[in-house]
Structure 1
Amino acid sequence: MAQGQPAHGLALRFGAHGLELCCTRGGADVLCLRGDFTRMLPRLQPGSLQRELLVRAARIRRPTGRLVAIDATAGLGEDAMLLAAAGFSVQLYESNPVIAALLADALDRAAGVPALAPVVSRMQLHETDSRTALPKLPAPPDVILLDPMFPARHKSALVKKKLQLLQMLACPCADEAALLMAAIAARPRKVLVKRPLKGACLAGIKASHSFTGRAIRIDCLVLPGPQTH
């Protein structure tokens, strides 16, 4: 893919460091976004990784066999990378073709980095809507992560601008209830939902418990039945 079709001042093309989504104005790039997992290397160190809010929330007691996680709203894959580094085999679902292309390119580049290659080997990307894919999974996963897009808070101006760039492609989830019901239908041990710190519960469904950080919280829905831990 040498160049994508521009829309609303956006262009997808290969730059010096990989595939980039660029916002153009007057024929010049004003902001470019690309996936880059090398920036996550400090967070993947064992001491730091175990302190990550998502890793703490995803922990499975008395695991048996290979742990499987689904990132149903993958975006640029940073959460999935944390889960894979924590030992999960992660299936990533991203329905937006541009975001999926950025993520695929980032995974390809990360596979060539020795410190990241073992983690990337546990990540598999699917360019499809998780709402239709989740109920059809061949076996229940251990964890399903949902991160419906919400406005950036307590972040740097650059991060906010990059999130706004993503939001030009993928609007916040229009049917949160359908997304959550699809995750529940897949019968995981638990569903993790990333929310703003003071935001309402997804689709109004109360969590079993929550893990709270400085700017976000992760609501944990522990499901009843034989799959529950």
Structure 2
Amino acid sequence: MTFTPHQFLVKASKIKNTDRTLTKIDATAGLGEDVLLLAAAGFPVQLHEYDPVIAALLRDALRRAAELPELAAIVGLKDDSRTALPELTAPPDVILFDPMFPERQKSALIKKKFQLLQNSERLCADETDLVNAAIAEHPHKVVIKRPHLADAKPNYSLKGKTIRYDCLGLPQSYVYV
């Protein structure tokens, strides 16, 4: 079976053998593309974006998305995940990271929406702090949409032609999708 990048995201965000609603946090929300896909798949998601310009663009997208019932699962937008995660009252089930990639050295340009992000958002220079903040909250799974973020060793990876999700399953008692 061949998966699209969107299906990989949904698959990576699932936890087997549970019938309860899972809590998910997108710790690096960017323009919100991933969270919109997860919300459309029925996952409630809390967003975090530390860059104020990107957060303003995301707030506008969320305002418009709120008009669609299938996107009602988006919980809201918070600030920097490194400061917000320690304030959680209960551990989330899944924390997703999709930090900005370093600037490409190839001559071909990336897609325009990513050019906008790369030109306006600060490069994630503190990847280790982000991953450590997530792990400290004891989620069931950390999903990283970029290989080898902060040298984290995944339990497994979902790989496509253009995308890779590294999945760190934290408690051993769960079986992951």
Q: TM-score range by the shorter chain?
A: 0.7 to 0.9
Q: Determine which of 44, 54, 75 is the counterpart of 1:124.
A: 75
Match of 1:215 in 2: 162
SS of the equivalent of 1:52 reads helix
The size of the alignment, in residue pairs, is 171
TM-score (norm 1): 0.67
SS of the equivalent of 2:115 reads helix
Q: 1:125, 1:133 → 2: CA distance?
A: 13
Match of 1:83 in 2: 38
1:54-107, CA deviations, whole angstroms, 9 ceiling, x for partnerless residues?
111112112232211100000111111111122211000011121111111112
What amino acid does structure 1 have at the position aligned with 2:61? A
Match of 2:54 in 1: 99
Match of 2:133 in 1: 182
1:111-167, CA deviations, whole angstroms, 9 ceiling, x for partnerless residues?
22xxxx2232111232411011112211111110001111588xx95x533312212
CA contact (8 A) 1:189 1:222 kept: yes
CA contact (8 A) 2:24 2:43 kept: yes
Question: Taking structure 1 as reference, are residues 223 and 145 closer, same or farther at Cα in structure 2, changes over 3 Å only?
Answer: same
CA contact (8 A) 1:143 1:191 kept: yes
What amino acid does structure 2 have at the position aligned with 1:134? L
Q: 2:44, 2:4 → 1: CA distance?
A: 16
Q: Determine which of 16, 19, 24 is the counterpart of 1:69.
A: 24
Q: Which runs of 5+ in 2 are unaligned?
A: none
Q: Once superposed, which parts of structure 1, at least 4 consecutive aligned residues long, lie more than 3 Å away?
A: 48-51
Q: 1:51, 1:160 → 2: CA distance?
A: 17
Higher relative contact order (CA 8 A, sep 6+): 2
Q: Which runs of 5+ in 1 are unaligned?
A: 1-47
Q: Determine which of 115, 133, 141 is the counterpart of 2:84.
A: 133
Question: Taking structure 1 as reference, are residues 49 and 162 closer, same or farther at Cα in structure 2, changes over 3 Å only?
Answer: closer
CA contact (8 A) 1:71 1:144 kept: yes
Matched ranges for 1:1-229 at <5 A:
52-112=7-67, 117-151=68-102, 160-195=111-146, 199=147, 201-224=148-171, 228-229=174-175
CA contact (8 A) 1:50 1:56 kept: no
CA contact (8 A) 2:142 2:168 kept: yes
Structure holding more strand per residue: 1
- 1:49 offset after TM fit, Å? 8.2
